[in-house]
Structures are given as structure tokens and as C-alpha cells.
Amino acid sequence: MNAPDLHQKDLYEANKLAKRLRRLAGQAIGDYQMISAGDRVMVCLSGGKDSYAMLDVLLSLRAHAPIEFDIVAVNLDQRHPGYPEHVLPSYLRSLEVPFHIEVQDTYSVVKRVIPEGKTMCGLCSRLRRGVLYRVAKELGATKIALGHHRDDILETFFLNLFFGGKLKAMPPKLVSDDGAHVVIRPLAYVEEHDLAAYAEVKKFPIIPCDLCGSQATLQRKQMKDLLRDWEKRYPGRVDSIFRSLQDVRPSHLMDRELFNFEAVKATGIATVEGDKAFDPQDQFSTLADPKPAVISLAKSTLSK
């Protein structure tokens, strides 16, 4: 994208968007200590907007980072019919980024194993992970970077809650299934609509995933629609849910392995949380200019 191609306002908004992505990614990387000096980060590229943006942001952050680390881009060519295999190599050469294209016919495996009309994402994902772990070892990568964003994390949380019976999401940093690698998600704080806008600005050569088709009934799509509807009807609710994933109170859940309920005894000393499962007083602390009289009345009412 060249500056003359944009109106002044568009250029301003594009620069503001790029800065926001870099700031949020940098914050997530710092908060969770995702990258250390000397790391060789394997950036997994699918050809979608999220992974393109992740590579772009990491390259920018590396140029200004106080530490040195290497980046190698990796794409798994799953041999989808009609897959434009020239797109990513051409793009990566234009950036002068070291890259590796791994060719594995996982497409045929998935199509053979999964019945027509059934969800293919689970098996496809597992096969991809196995290949990428092997490639990471061969390339000497110390970190595997995936392009999951904030919306992915929230959708996964509700998928586990509604369909899996677990309080679990996508962590920003974890040890891989085989125990041999550290997986990071630098876009953990970034919203999907910002990534979509950034892809438009940067004109990334998007390669759509056509393995499974649209699969409009996917449970993940249901969660995406749910969150979108909530945010539309109740602005700020999604932000609140995301913050809750960073403020967990094991004593107020029901996991006996996470919290020692047997040791709970009356001590005569007041506790911070106590028996307040939900503290409505927190609502007043978010008001821009709360009226003391209103807060006083609310507190006296709630204390009765």
C-alpha cells in the first residue's frame, strides 16, 4: 500500500490501526513473556488474515525490540485441490523473510476419514499440529507462534462451557501436546475486526480454507454469532468477559483440585472476597462521574 493511494483521513486511520495492533501484540508478548532473547520463532502461516497480520506485526516489533530474535515463516500445504501454492512463497520472498513450505497431503486423510457433512476442523487441526511440531524441531524453533486472536479465545471459552463442561479457553502461552515446544499467541489481545480491517489496508493475498466449505452450523460459528449479538445489544459485555479470564477466583468456583475447600474454616478475620458471589458495588466504580449521594444510597440499600 502506497500513501498516495489513500486519502489523508484513510492514511491516518491506517496508521492508527497499525499502532494499535503493535501495541496490543507487544503488550501480550510482555505480559506473558512469550519471546526471549535468542529465540527462533516459527510463525505459522495459513494464508488467512490473522496469520498474515501476526507475521507483519512480529516483523515490525522485532525491528524495534530491545532483544534479538529470529523469525522463520512456515506454511503447511495440505494439498487442497486448487490450492494456489505460488502465493505464499512469492509474498514471503518479497518480504525477504526466511520461510519453509511443508507439503503433506492431510486433505485426503480428512476427506477419507470424516463422513460427508460432518465437521472436519477437529481432525484437520490435530493433523496440522503434529506436522508443525515435527517441522519446528527440524528448524530448531524455540517458539511456535499461532495467529489466534481475542475472539478465538472467547469463542473457545464458551465452546468448552456450553459443550465441554469445562472452564477452559486458549492460553496465550502453553506447552505443546507432545511436551517438546512452547506455543505462543501474540494476537491474544487483538480483536478480529481489527485484523480484518488491517488485512484490507495491507492487501494481504488471502488464501481461503476450502477444505470444509462454509459449514454454517459449526459450534464455533454459533459462539461467534452469540458474542456478536451480545456486543450489539449490550456494548462492553464482551470486554468484561475477556477481563474475567484474567481475574480468576478459585475460591469462588467449585473445582476441589484447584482450591482446598476442606481447609476452609472460620477464623474471625474478615476476608476480601467473603460470601459476595457478585459485588454490585463494582458497577459504581466504573462510572465516569458517580454522584456520592447515589452511591451512598445504593450501598445502604445493598447492605440491608
- For residue 95, the model assigns a pLDDT of 95
Average pLDDT on 117-123 reads 68
* 3-state secondary structure at position 76: strand
- What is the band of 189 on the pLDDT scale with cuts at 50, 70, 90? very high
- For residue 260, the model assigns a pLDDT of 95
pLDDT value at 166 more than 50: yes
- Asked whether residue 150 falls in the same domain as residue 47, the answer is yes
- For residue 109, the model assigns a pLDDT of 78
pLDDT value at 255 more than 70: yes
Per the DSSP assignment, residues forming a β-bridge with 74 are 44, 100
Percent of the chain whose predicted confidence (pLDDT) is above 90:
64
Percent of the chain whose predicted confidence (pLDDT) is above 70:
83
Average pLDDT on 2-21 reads 82
pLDDT value at 129 more than 50: yes
Average pLDDT on 186-205 reads 97
Does residue 236 fall inside a structural domain?
A: no
The order of strands in the sheet holding 173-175 is: 99-103, 70-77, 40-45, 143-145, 182-184, 173-175
Does residue 243 fall inside a structural domain?
A: no
35 or 300, which is more confident?
A: 35
Average pLDDT on 255-267 reads 93
Does residue 230 fall inside a structural domain?
A: no
Does residue 187 fall inside a structural domain?
A: yes
- Number of domains the chain is built from: 2
- Asked whether residue 106 falls in the same domain as residue 152, the answer is yes
- For residue 304, the model assigns a pLDDT of 44
pLDDT value at 293 more than 50: no
Tally of CB atoms within 10 A around 5: 9
Q: Which residue has the cell 499461532?
A: 146
CA–CA separation, 1 and 21 (whole Å): 17
- For residue 294, the model assigns a pLDDT of 42
What is each CA distance from 215 to 65, 97, 149, in whole angstroms? 41, 34, 21
Give the tens place of pLDDT for each residue, 77-97: 888 777 888 999 999 999 999
pLDDT value at 4 more than 70: no
- Asked whether residue 183 falls in the same domain as residue 254, the answer is no
Does residue 231 fall inside a structural domain?
A: no
Checking DSSP bridges between strand 99-103 and strand 182-184, what pairing results, if any?
unpaired
Average pLDDT along the chain: 86
pLDDT value at 107 more than 90: no
5 or 131, which is more confident?
A: 131
Phi first, then psi, for residue 72 (nearest 5°) are -130, 125
pLDDT value at 178 more than 90: no
- Asked whether residue 201 falls in the same domain as residue 116, the answer is yes
Q: What is the pTM of this model?
A: 0.83
pLDDT value at 299 more than 50: no
pLDDT value at 196 more than 70: yes
Checking DSSP bridges between strand 99-103 and strand 70-77, what pairing results, if any?
parallel
Q: Count how many Cα atoms sit within 13 Å of the Cα of residue 127 in the half-sphere of its side chain.
A: 20
Domain of residue 263 covers: 249-302
**The CATH number of the domain where 50 resides is what?**
3.40.50.620
- Asked whether residue 275 falls in the same domain as residue 188, the answer is no
- For residue 278, the model assigns a pLDDT of 65
CA–CA separation, 73 and 55 (whole Å): 8
- What is the band of 115 on the pLDDT scale with cuts at 50, 70, 90? confident
Average pLDDT on 178-185 reads 93
- Asked whether residue 43 falls in the same domain as residue 128, the answer is yes
- Asked whether residue 9 falls in the same domain as residue 142, the answer is yes
pLDDT value at 277 more than 80: no
